[in-house]
Amino acid sequence: MLTPITFQVTDEDGSRDVVVSAPDFVAYEANYNQPVIKAMSDLSLTAYLFLIWNAMSRQKLTDLTFDDWLAKAPTFDRGEAEDPAPLDRKQRPGTSQPSLSSSE
């Protein structure tokens, strides 16, 4: 399943974060009659731009048609993904520390 994707979008109106989610994926498939996953794995520029535009339209961030929005020469970049916290490598699970006391 596709999870929401955040894009950093820049156009004549400035920069903003746009979250693309399920309604946008479905809109792409309905409009282009092609699985969105295939288009994205093929790095289809049309797919990415359509998804961003659809999300912006749905979220009332633009009232332009797709073609009019494209004429504004938008650029985009995938938003920063949060890295998971690193594991503590000091002690491996299931191992114990050697005893410091001596019973000699």
The percent of residues above 70 in pLDDT, for the chain, comes to 74
Look at residue 84 in the predicted model and tell me its pLDDT: 41
pLDDT band with cut points at 50, 70 and 90 for residue 78: confident
* pTM, two decimal places: 0.73
Look at residue 92 in the predicted model and tell me its pLDDT: 54
Provide the 3-class DSSP secondary structure of residue 83. Answer: coil
Q: How many Å apart are CA 37 and CA 34, to the nearest integer?
A: 9
Kind of pairing between the strands at 75-78 and 14-20: unpaired
pLDDT tens figures, 8-64: 999 888 899 999 999 999 999 999 999 999 999 999 999 999 999 999 999 999 999
CB 14 within 8 A of CB 1: no
Beta strand segments in the chain, E: 5-11, 14-20, 75-78
Query: Is the confidence at residue 85, as pLDDT, over 50?
Result: no
In degrees rounded to 5, what are phi and psi of residue 80?
A: -70, 125
